[in-house]
């Protein structure tokens, strides 16, 4: 029997018993008003209490997200990692709106690494800033916390003034009683809150009417910008605790390899070297300066034990195996999204079309090379960590594990991230733990900085994929059956085993964006393909893989949207018209397609240029992009002149920031389309630095025109949308321009040449 | 022991007495000896431009220059841009135009633009695009950085009366 394991899968929590859950919340986001007055403290985690009390001992904790000081300062807790996506401002804006606080009174502080109330419900209530999900997953909870803290303020004022709560209202940071003309500030309430009678609450929450929003939807300046333009923003790389020493680490060239032989003599002769320390899977050089550590590391002579199957691994051969697996219909796949009956694919009376596509490995290429600083103290019993992490609990646990100390004895300073793109969630925390064990051995703080070469050599790659698609088209031109086979290695199977098991060992990242239904499993804004089988053919490569921005949705969108275009051509249908037909049940989808077609002047004739369109409903954000390209025969170069993108993201908390995410995502996706590619020979990643791993530069970047279509739905994610749409839009534009179909991502000059010659 | 070379390094009009190894890069010394961590290092091979600073008026990859080569020269870093609380207009243009996301590449871009526009105060759009192509940004898609430069060029040509030529 086929089971439907669509994008809206059920999960069960992993990591059980890792951290004892506290009783401060019966269920996240659904708390009642019994939290209120006497006493207010103790409502968050002990870590949060400590966190806040170290800064302002008089601040009253109204709830886990809102703390108000008698001086009127309102501290709002941000649980998510700030890696450039603006979430450290956007999440507090949601709280502040419902709290009805003056934005200038708000200061923002990072949450502790643990605590169910700070965790993401879609990721087992652990903080996991990934997958375009932060705003979506925290939205309902944060507006409740904001509203409920406001309610506590009202109750306090009512108690103080002996008036009914219903006679009170708020203006920003003030509670007002119109009948008597009295007002009291939030800070003044905080001065006596906690001594009044307990509020028993219980009424349902009434949220603000959207038309009265002062912050949501208004483009509040990002709080991280001033430090980032002045240079004072602190990344983990900038931490400099006293007595700091520097380490450069040689790591296993392939996962699981161990040191066979080491000659460290020459390395030790370099001035400034403090020690050379070996572990089974790595060799570290510690020195008084980073250049000295690097120079000494170059002098290490290390040979590694081979890992079976990896020493002759070749990515070109592997892709051929992926391709063969996708094409081999006798090899049944894991049924990810099934509906109806696809037997018409075998019916001689129908037209059956088939196509295949492939994508290469890509690498995160976040701008800040991986790094961390760890200071182990108290004879190895405590540790302080500076790290930019997308999964702070993973970070604390990894350090605790390697030091064999309780997690509560690890203090994490959650630094800004110079980009994350998925790399900094990995449970091994390979970029953090080296500093921890070295600090324990040396009894002083250690900074480990990866060079860009280290970062590439130990890259955790987005899996290569091969796709085989078939469609049966009936006499009226309708798609009567759809089959999409994806052959790939699942990106979390090896390096995030806890999540993989928690998700039920299904190919969860591989198949994102491949389903033709919304996250709640309704048709939603997907193409109407009533008879379909979308399946995953599992490959086992042993290569270090990990989710990278766009995850499986980028290759899946390339395959789906290219194939849709090919079917449109077969039907002599315009690609826009054809998609409108497939979206006949989705008014939102049609509106997006029509909008983007209008923006791009889709029907206008172009000279030596052509347009291509792609559509997605990934994470229920409905979006489409049109790319305008030209092709230079001599240079074998595709130039992308413009990209138009229309998106319905529901409620946009920070619209300008949403646009920035979409624009940046498009250019990231154009890197996927045209140049980004990792190859492996003899088990080793071949690319070394940005000269041979080519990220798009300004000269090649198009003008991106973005339009947000607002709707009253709750906010949906935008972090990956652009990077998902861009490759298919380019492929479709190239086909429109030349009549030839690019099937292998990235569309490098040699592949373009090959396609044009056949 | 190491053979360290002592000398005076002038950064942002301040003199730092430093003692460095011959092979130490200017980026490393600025960050670790002077404690000016706003200069970021992204690739150590001069490819990404994150570590761009200004040396005697010219944009320089601080990861490709040895610190000792900067003796007697005037070094400017991101920390020397603002006048007290008052941001430099390139910094303000970045802020106004949301010309950054993760911010790691931002100081390098700001220093590149500042130096380039001091040399050519009224660049064409094409010249701006070419200039910005020296540095990498993984987040923004460059458009808002381009817009920031346009704002800055507009402001500075207004005040200096320089001719706009695009």
Which residue has better confidence, A538 or A10? A538
For the cut 90, the answer to whether the pLDDT of residue A207 exceeds it is yes
Burial class of residue A164 in the structure, from the number of CB atoms within 10 Å of its CB (0-12 exposed, 13-18 middle, 19+ buried): exposed
Residues 6 or more apart whose CB falls under 8 angstroms from that of A522 comprise none
Question: pLDDT tens for residues A599-639?
Answer: 999 999 999 999 999 999 999 999 999 999 999 999 899 99
Inspect the interface and report whether the beta carbons of A418 and B103 lie closer than 8 Å: yes
Question: How many angstroms away from the CA of A202 is the closest CA of chain B?
Answer: 41
Question: What is the rounded CA–CA span in Å between residue A420 and residue A144?
Answer: 29
Q: What is the pLDDT of residue B160?
A: 56
Residue A24 has what pLDDT? 26
Residues of chain B contacting residue A699, judged by C-beta atoms under 8 Å apart: 129-130, 133
Quick check: A673 and A614 in contact, CB under 8 A? no
Confidence band, pLDDT 50/70/90 cuts, at residue A194: low
**Where does the pLDDT of residue B142 fall: very low under 50, low under 70, confident under 90, or very high at 90 and above?**
very high
Rg (CA), chain B: 16
Q: If you average pLDDT over every residue of chain A, what do you get?
A: 91
User: Between A and B, how many residue pairs show a Cβ–Cβ distance under 8 A?
Assistant: 176
CA B10 – CA B15 distance, rounded (Å): 5
Kindly report, residue by residue over A248-262, the tens digit of the pLDDT: 999 999 999 999 999
Q: Are strands B4-11 and B74-76 parallel, antiparallel or unpaired?
A: parallel
Asked whether residue A203 carries a pLDDT value surpassing 70, the answer given is no
d(CA A356, CA A728): 14
Contacts of residue A649, Cβ cutoff 8 Å, sequence gap at least 6? A621, A623, A658, A708, A715, A716, A717, A718
Residue A32 is predicted with a pLDDT of 27
Residues 6+ apart with CB under 8 A from A483: A342, A345, A468, A469, A470, A471, A532, A533, A534, A535
- Residues above pLDDT 90, as percent of chain A: 87
Judging contacts by C-beta atoms under 8 Å, the chain A residues touching residue B130 are 699
Q: Which residues pair with A78 in a beta bridge?
A: A110
Indicate if the pLDDT at residue A3 is higher than 60: no
- Under DSSP, the state recorded for A173 is T
pLDDT over 50 at B150, yes or no: yes
Query: Which of chain B's residues have a Cβ under 8 Å away from the Cβ of A228?
Result: 100, 103, 106
Stretch 9-68 of chain B: residues touching chain A, C-beta under 8 Å = 21, 23-25, 28, 31-32, 35-45, 47-48, 50
Is residue A272 a contact partner of residue B4, using CB atoms and an 8 Å limit?
A: no
Q: Say how many C-beta atoms besides its own lie within 10 A of residue A110's C-beta.
A: 21
B4-79 and B89-158 have identical folds: no
CATH of B4-79, one of 3.10.20.30, 1.10.3720.10, 3.40.50.1100, 3.40.50.300: 3.10.20.30
- Structural domains present in chain A: 33-222 (3.30.365.10), 236-308+370-449 (3.30.365.10), 315-362+461-757 (3.30.365.10)
- For residue A727, say if its preceding peptide bond is cis, omega within 30 degrees of 0: no
Q: Which residues of B touch A230 (CB under 8 A)?
A: 38, 78-79, 81-82, 87, 91
* Strands of the sheet with A106-110, listed across from one edge: A60-61, A66-68, A74-78, A106-110
Looking at the predicted structure, is the pLDDT value of residue A20 above 60? no
Beta strand A351-359 with A744-745: parallel, antiparallel or unpaired? parallel
CA neighbor of A537 nearest in space, from A471, A490, A480, A602: A490
Closest CA in chain B for residue A272? B2
Segment A321-332 shows an average pLDDT of: 97
Q: What are residue A632's DSSP bridge partners?
A: A637
Tens-digit pLDDT profile for residues A34-61 = 232 223 333 334 544 454 444 566 788 8
Of A664, A697, A703, the CB nearest to B101: A664
Q: Tell me which residues of chain B, numbers 124 to 153, contact chain A at a CB-CB cutoff of 8 Å.
A: 129-130, 132-133, 136-146
Contact B13, B25 (CB under 8 A): no
The residue that leads in pLDDT, A196 or A559, is: A559
Q: What is the pLDDT of residue A35?
A: 30
β-strand pairing of A680-681 with A684-685: antiparallel
Query: In angstroms, what separates the C-alpha of B25 from chain A's closest C-alpha?
Result: 8
Structure confidence at residue A83 (pLDDT): 97
Bridge partner list, B6: B19
- Here the tokens at position A614 are 């792609």
Mutate to test the interface with A, among B62, B143, B145 (most CBs of A within 10 A): B143
Taking CB atoms and an 8 Å limit, are B42 and A368 in contact across chains?
A: yes
Look at residue A462 and give its three-state secondary structure. Answer: strand
Flag if B139 and A226 touch (Cβ within 8 Å).
no
Q: What is the CATH number of domain B89-158?
A: 1.10.150.120
Spatial distance between the Cα atoms of A352 and A482, rounded to a whole number of angstroms: 10
Interchain proximity A368–B146, CB inside 8 Å:
no
Which of the residues A273, A367, A668 would you substitute to probe the B interface, choosing the one with the greatest number of B C-beta atoms within 10 Å? A367
Average pLDDT, integer, range B30-34: 96
Closest by Cα among A735, A481, A469 to A613: A735
Before A27, cis peptide (omega within 30)?
no
Q: What is the distance in angstroms between the Cα of A524 and the nearest Cα belonging to chain B? A: 30
Q: Which residues of A587-623 are buried (b: 16+ CB within 10 A; e: fewer)?
A: ebbbbbbbbbbebbebeeeeeebbbbbbbbbbbbbbb
Share of chain A above pLDDT 70, in %: 91
R_g of chain A, CA atoms, integer Å: 27
Q: What is the pLDDT of residue A107?
A: 97
Distances, alpha carbon A285 to alpha carbons A429, B21, B41, in Å: 19, 18, 20
Cβ-based contacts of B78 with chain A (< 8 Å):
230-231
* Residue among A641, A664, A638 nearest A724 (CA): A664
- Give me the residue from B37, B48, B77 closest to A367, CB to CB: B48
User: Chain A residues with CB inside 8 Å of B127's CB?
Assistant: none
* Long-range contacts, B118-123 (Cβ 8 Å, 24+): B118/B57, B119/B57, B119/B58, B121/B153, B121/B156, B121/B157, B121/B160, B121/B162, B122/B153, B122/B157, B122/B162, B122/B163, B122/B164, B122/B165, B123/B149, B123/B153, B123/B166
Do the Cβ atoms of A228 and B106 come within 8 Å? yes
* Nearest by CB: A667 against B35, B94, B141: B141
Place of tokens 């002149």: A641
The Cα–Cα gap between A748 and A143 comes to 47
Cα–Cα distance, A747 to A753 (Å, whole number): 10
Q: Which two tokens stand for residue A45?
A: 């985690």
Query: Which residue, B137, B138, A581, is CA-closest to B149?
Result: B137
| B39 beta partners | none
Per-residue pLDDT, A205 = 85
ipTM of the complex: 0.95
Neighbours of B147 (CB within 10 A): 16
Are A629 and A640 a contacting pair, CB within 8 Å?
Answer: yes
Where do the domains of chain B lie?
4-79, 89-158
Chain segment B54-85, per-residue pLDDT in tens: 999 999 999 999 999 999 999 999 999 999 99
**More confidently predicted of A121 and A201:** A121
pLDDT bracket for residue A104 (50, 70, 90): very high
Cβ B108 vs Cβ B131: under 8 Å: no
What is the distance between the alpha carbons of residues A105 and A91, in angstroms, rounded to a whole number?
16
From A206's Cα to the closest Cα of chain B, the distance in A is 34
DSSP label of A212: G
pLDDT tens-place string over residues B93-116:
999 999 999 999 999 999 999 999
Catalogue the E-assigned strands of A489-621.
532-538, 610-616
């Amino acid at each position: 029997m086929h089971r439907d394991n669509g994008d809206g899968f059920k999960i069960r929590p992993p990591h059980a018993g890792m951290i004892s859950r506290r009783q401060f919340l019966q269920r996240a986001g659904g708390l009642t008003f019994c939290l209120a007055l006497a006493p207010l403290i103790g409502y968050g985690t002990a870590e949060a209490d400590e966190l806040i009390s170290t800064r302002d001992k008089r601040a009253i904790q109204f709830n886990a997200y809102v703390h108000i000081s008698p001086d009127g300062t309102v501290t709002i807790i941000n649980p998510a990692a700030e890696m450039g996506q603006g979430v450290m401002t956007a999440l507090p804006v949601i709280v502040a709106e419902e709290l009805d606080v003056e934005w200038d009174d708000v200061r923002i502080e990072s949450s502790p690494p643990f605590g169910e109330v700070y965790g993401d419900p879609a990721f087992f209530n652990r903080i996991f800033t990934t997958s375009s999900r932060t705003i979506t997953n925290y939205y309902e909870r944060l507006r409740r916390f904001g509203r409920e803290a406001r309610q506590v303020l009202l109750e306090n004022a009512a108690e103080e003034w002996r008036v009914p709560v219903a006679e009170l209202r708020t203006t920003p940071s003030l509670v007002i009683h119109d009948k008597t003309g009295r007002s009291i500030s939030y800070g003044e309430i905080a001065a006596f809150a906690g001594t009044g009678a307990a509020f028993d609450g219980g009424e349902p929450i009434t949220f603000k009417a959207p038309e009265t929003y002062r912050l949501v939807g208004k483009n509040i300046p990002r709080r991280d910008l001033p430090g980032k333009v002045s240079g004072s923003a602190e990344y983990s790389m900038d931490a400099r605790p006293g007595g700091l020493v520097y380490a450069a680490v040689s790591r296993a060239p392939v996962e699981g390899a161990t040191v066979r032989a080491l000659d460290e003599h020459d390395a030790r002769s370099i001035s400034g070297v403090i020690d050379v320390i070996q572990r089974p899977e790595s060799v570290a050089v510690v020195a008084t300066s980073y250049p000295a550590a690097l120079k000494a590391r170059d002098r290490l002579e290390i040979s590694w034990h081979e890992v079976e199957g990896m020493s002759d691994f070749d990515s070109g051969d592997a892709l051929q195996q992926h391709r063969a697996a996708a094409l081999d219909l006798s090899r049944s796949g894991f049924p990810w999204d099934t509906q109806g009956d696809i037997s018409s694919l075998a019916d001689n009376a129908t037209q059956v079309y088939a196509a295949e596509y492939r994508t290469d490995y890509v690498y995160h290429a976040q701008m800040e090379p991986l790094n961390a600083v760890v200071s182990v103290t108290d004879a190895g019993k405590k540790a302080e960590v500076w790290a930019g992490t997308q999964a702070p609990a993973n970070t604390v646990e990894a350090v605790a594990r390697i030091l064999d100390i309780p997690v509560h004895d690890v203090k994490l300073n959650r630094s800004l991230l110079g980009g994350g793109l998925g790399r900094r969630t990995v449970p091994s925390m390979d970029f953090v733990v080296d500093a921890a064990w070295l600090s324990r051995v040396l009894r002083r703080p250690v900074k480990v900085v990866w060079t860009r070469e280290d970062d590439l050599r130990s890259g955790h790659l987005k899996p290569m994929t091969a796709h085989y698609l078939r469609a049966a088209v009936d006499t009226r031109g309708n798609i009567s059956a759809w089959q999409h086979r994806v052959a790939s290695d699942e990106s979390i199977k090896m390096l995030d085993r806890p999540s993989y098991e928690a998700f039920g060992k299904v190919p969860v990242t591989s198949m994102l964006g491949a389903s033709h239904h919304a996250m709640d499993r309704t048709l939603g804004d997907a193409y109407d393909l009533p008879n379909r089988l979308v399946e995953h053919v599992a490959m086992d490569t042993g290569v270090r893989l990990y989710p990278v921005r766009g995850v499986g949705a980028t290759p899946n969108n390339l395959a789906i949207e290219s194939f849709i275009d090919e079917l449109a051509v077969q039907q002599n249908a315009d690609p826009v018209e054809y998609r409108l037909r497939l979206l006949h049940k989705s008014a939102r989808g049609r509106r997006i397609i029509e909008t983007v077609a209008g923006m791009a002047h889709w029907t206008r004739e172009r000279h030596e240029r052509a347009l291509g369109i792609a559509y997605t409903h990934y994470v229920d954000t409905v979006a489409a992009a049109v790319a305008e390209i030209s092709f230079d025969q001599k240079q074998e170069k595709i130039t992308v002149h413009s990209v138009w993108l229309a998106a319905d993201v529901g409620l946009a908390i920070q619209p300008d920031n949403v646009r920035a995410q979409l624009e940046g995502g498009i250019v990231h996706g154009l890197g996927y389309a045209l140049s980004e590619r990792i190859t492996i020979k003899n088990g080793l990643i071949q690319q070394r630095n940005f000269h041979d791993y080519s990220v798009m530069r300004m000269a090649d970047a198009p003008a991106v025109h973005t339009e947000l279509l607002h709707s009253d739905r709750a906010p949906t994610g935008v972090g990956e949308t652009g990077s998902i749409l861009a490759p298919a839009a380019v492929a479709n534009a190239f086909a429109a321009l030349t009549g030839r179909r690019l099937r292998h991502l990235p569309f490098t000059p040699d592949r373009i040449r090959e396609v044009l010659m056949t | 022991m190491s053979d360290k070379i002592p000398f005076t390094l002038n950064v942002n009009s301040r003199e730092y007495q430093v003692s460095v190894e011959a092979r130490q890069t200017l980026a490393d010394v600025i960050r670790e000896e002077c404690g000016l961590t706003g200069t970021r290092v992204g690739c150590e091979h001069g490819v990404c431009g994150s570590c761009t600073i200004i040396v005697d008026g010219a944009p320089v990859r601080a990861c490709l220059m040895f610190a000792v080569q900067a003796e007697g020269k005037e070094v400017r870093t991101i920390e020397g841009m603002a006048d007290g609380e008052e941001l430099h207009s390139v910094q303000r243009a970045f802020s106004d135009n949301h010309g950054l996301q993760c911010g790691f590449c931002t100081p390098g871009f700001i220093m590149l633009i500042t130096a380039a526009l001091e040399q050519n105060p009224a660049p064409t759009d094409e010249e701006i695009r070419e200039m910005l192509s020296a540095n990498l940004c993984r987040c923004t898609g460059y458009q808002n950085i381009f817009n920031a430069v346009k704002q800055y060029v507009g402001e500075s040509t207004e005040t200096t009366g320089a001719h706009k030529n695009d």
